[in-house]
Structure formats: C-alpha cells, structure tokens
Amino acid sequence: MAAADPMTPSAPPPKARQWSWRSKAFRSIVYQVIALAAVIAVGAYLVHNTLTNMRARGIQSGFDFILQPAGFAIGESLMPFDSAESYGKAFLVGLSNTLRVAVVGIVMATVLGTLVGVGRLSKNFLIRTVCSTYVEIFRNVPLLLQLFIWYFVMTELLPAIEEPLRPLPGVFFSKNGLQFPIPVWADGHWLTVAGVVLGALGAWFWSRQAKRHMFDTGVQRPVFWPGVVIVIVAGLLGWLVGGMPGGIDAPEKTDLNVIGGGAVTPEFLTMLVGLTIYTASYIAEIVRGGIQSVPFGQHEAAAALGLSRGQEVRLVQLPQALRVIIPPLTSQYLNLTKNSSLAVAVGYPDLVSISNTSLNQTGRAIECISLVMACYLTLSLLTALFMNAYNKRSLLKER
C-alpha cells in the first residue's frame, strides 16, 4: 500500500457532542424541552379546568352528539339531507357548501383579477380607467357591506318568479335564484368524462411538444385552441362510444313557479358574486405589481422579437412575474376561503351556519367551534401546500 502523502491535508475529526451546560446546542435543546413542557402543562390545566367547571354546572361535553339526529333541514346542499340524519352529515353538507362557493370563487376571482390587473397596464385610456376605478371602489368597501348590497339586488331588484328574466333559452333569473338546464345522468356519461380526461392529457402533451419545438426551432406553435379542440373531440368520441346519452332536464315556466332543471339560490349567488368581485380587486393589484416587477429590458427584448402586446404579456412577462405573484395570491385564496364564513349574514348554509344551528340545539359550544376551526385549518393548509408546490415549479431555473 502506498504511504499517505504528508502534504495532503487530512479531514478534520468529527465534532463530538458535548452534553454539558457549557454547550450552546445542549442548552438550546433544554430550553425548547422546558418551553414545550410548559405549553403542554398550561393546555392541560385549561382543558381540565374547563371540563371541571362544565361538569359543575351540568353542561354536557363530548363529540357523541355527532351521531345524533340533527332535527333541522338544510335549504341548499349538494347531497340530499333529511332532518332525521346525524349532525355529522349536517357538518359535511355545510363543508361541501363552503367548498362549493370557495372553489368556484377562487377560479372566477383569479380570471377576473388577472384581466383587470392586465387592463390596468393597458395603453387604452378607457380600459385603464375602468379597471383602476373597479379596483379602487371594490377594494375599499368592506366585504360585509358588499354582501348586503348584492343580497338586496338579488332579493329586491330582480323580478319575481312569475316574470323571470331569460338571458338565454331555458335559463330563468329571478328573486328565487338562477334556474338552468342540466343533463340527465346516464351510464354513458362516464365514457364522456373519461374522454374529457384523456383529452386534457392530450392537450397537456401537445403543450409540452409545442414548448419543446419552440426551444429547438424558435417557432411558436399554437397551444390554446389546439388544446381546446383536443379536449372537445375526445369528449365527443367518449359520448359517441357511450351511446350518445342526450337527456336534458330543462326548467319549465308554470303559472306560479319554475320547475325542473338545476338551480342555485340567491344566497349562493350573493356569496359567489361578492367574494369574486371583492377578492378580484386585490388579485388585480397583485398581478399588476408582478408584471411591473419584470425588468423593462424584457419588454425591449420582446419588442425586438416582434411580439405583440398580448404575446409579450402571455409569453414573457406573466411567466417571470409568477414568482412575485404566487405568494400573495396564496394569501388571497386563503382569505377568500375564510371570508366565506360571512355567509351566515345572508342565510347561506355554510359550515359556520350549520355549526351555529348545531351549537344552539346541543349546547356543545367548544366541540362545534373546534370542528369549524379544524375544517378551516385543514382547508388553509391544503391550499398553502398546493400553492407552495406550484410556486416551486414556477421558479426560474438558473443554469
């Protein structure tokens, strides 16, 4: 064996842990253990003291009420619910109503806010002024007041159900809400859904190929419209293979009412419109600030390449602005989800509304509030997790 070169520096020996009070690392561990133990002790004392006082006053506690019959009906729900069913299912119905208004509101607020934010940077004076006025008005009026205004519009200014508005054939809009045609579900629709999913995968594959082609040749292939065509054609093929189910449940106008079809209540429309318009005003400012954070040299480079204004925003500025837009955009998504708890002010049966009714009937205040807190905490953490993952994917890759 060759002798080791005496001139070659040897690796320093690993530092041994010093389990003594003189070690800073050891003292930090001890302090953290003491702090954690103190927090646990204080929490245990508060829980024990609360339970003791509740028992002394004859107040029942526990989550056993979840399996008991609720005894109340829910005016609007995605799943059928009867008053004889349990409080647990009532909470699930309230959670589904919260998710419905939150998810749809996030999508609509993102689209509207992006359009308004880009419009604020438009060279057209009218578009720029309208977008700026929209932001300044709706961002500076409290959300609760806006919900009251929209609820007044939905329930007072719209025509009665006897003479509804008909913006489209088969669509009725009145004080009773919005009625619209819906397809009658059949087994063949599963193949239609499968076709749409395969079409979405095909559109994603096409976008990847178009991006690779642009990097190789510098020629930009269209992505959006070919992707739309792929999804539509795949869905149509699935519909044809599934036997072409075509049943439509269309609403019909009677002398006193509109029956059939799908429907959403004025309370749901109030929450959806209010949350969308309010949150979009903040998203517009986030998008505007993100675009303006892109160096002006990128604009000059896009102009030198002959890109139009729309291509510049879509292909150059927005992709680079995402690293600035996504973190505050995540906060707005969380705010919209939590602001949906104001639905109790307009009578929409969301999670908070169901919790209040359950609390009044059972007296389990701590349990009901804990369930609501756990649901909102879970929704917020899942939203943050998804947006953080998307934020990592959208970061600029440095070479």
In a domain, 310, yes or no: yes
pLDDT tens readout for residues 30-66:
889 999 999 999 989 888 887 777 777 766 677 888 8
- The percent of residues above 70 in pLDDT, for the chain, comes to 93
In angstroms, what CA-CA distances link 228 with 115, 138, 231, 263, 318? 20, 33, 5, 28, 21
pLDDT the model gives residue 3: 52
The model's confidence at residue 1, banded by pLDDT at 50, 70 and 90, is: very low
Question: 315-352: per-residue pLDDT in tens?
Answer: 788 888 888 889 999 999 999 999 999 998 998 999 99
State yes or no: pLDDT of 239 exceeds 70: yes
Report how many domains make up the chain.
Answer: 1
Q: Is residue 278 part of a domain?
A: yes
pLDDT at 13 over 80: no
Q: Work out the average pLDDT over 359-388.
A: 90
Q: Residue 158's pLDDT is what? A: 87
296 in a domain, yes or no?
A: yes
Domain of residue 125 covers 87-157+264-351+364-394
- Assigned domain for 255 exists: no
- Cβ neighbours, 10 Å, residue 24: 8
Q: Is residue 371 part of a domain?
A: yes
Cβ atoms of residues 332 and 279 within 8 Å:
yes
Cα separation, 28 vs 357, in Å, equals 47
Is there a domain that residue 106 lies in?
A: yes
Among 68-82, 88-102, 109-123, 271-285, the minimum mean pLDDT is found in 68-82
Could you tell me what percent of the chain has a pLDDT over 90? 36
Given this model, what pLDDT does residue 106 score? Answer: 95
Give mean pLDDT, residues 356-381. 89
Residue 298 in this model has a pLDDT that exceeds 90: no
Question: What is the C-alpha to C-alpha distance for residues 59 and 45, in angstroms, rounded to an integer?
Answer: 19
Better pLDDT: 73 or 61 = 73
Asked if pLDDT for residue 16 goes beyond 60, the answer is no
Q: What is the pLDDT of residues 279-288, one digit of tens each?
A: 999 999 999 9
The predicted structure's pLDDT at residue 303: 80
Q: Say yes or no to pLDDT of 134 above 90.
A: yes
Q: Is the pLDDT at 132 greater than 50, yes or no?
A: yes
Mean pLDDT along residues 272-279: 95
Q: What is the mean pLDDT of residues 7-33?
A: 71
CATH code of 111's domain: 1.10.3720.10
Give the integer Cα–Cα distance in Å for 135 and 282.
7
Residue type, 386: F
Q: What is the pLDDT of residues 172-192, one digit of tens each?
A: 888 888 888 888 888 878 888
Residue-wise pLDDT for 138-153, tens only, equals 999 999 999 999 999 9
pLDDT at residue 340, as a whole number: 93
Predicted pLDDT of residue 270 = 94
Instruction: Provide φ and ψ at 381, rounded to 5°.
Output: -65, -40
- 240-245's contacts with Cβ under 8 Å and 24+ in sequence apart are 241/191, 241/195, 242/186, 242/187, 242/188, 242/189, 242/190, 242/191, 242/192, 243/186, 243/188, 244/188, 245/183, 245/184, 245/186, 245/187, 245/188, 245/189, 245/192
What does the mean pLDDT of the chain come to? 85
Q: What is the pLDDT of residue 63?
A: 80
Structure token pair of residue 326: 């996504």
Q: Decide if 150 is inside a domain.
A: yes
The answer to whether residue 108 scores a pLDDT higher than 90 is yes
Residue 131 is assigned to a structural domain of this protein: yes
- The more confident residue out of 342 and 10 is 342
* Candidate from 23-37, 128-142, 291-305 with smallest mean pLDDT: 291-305
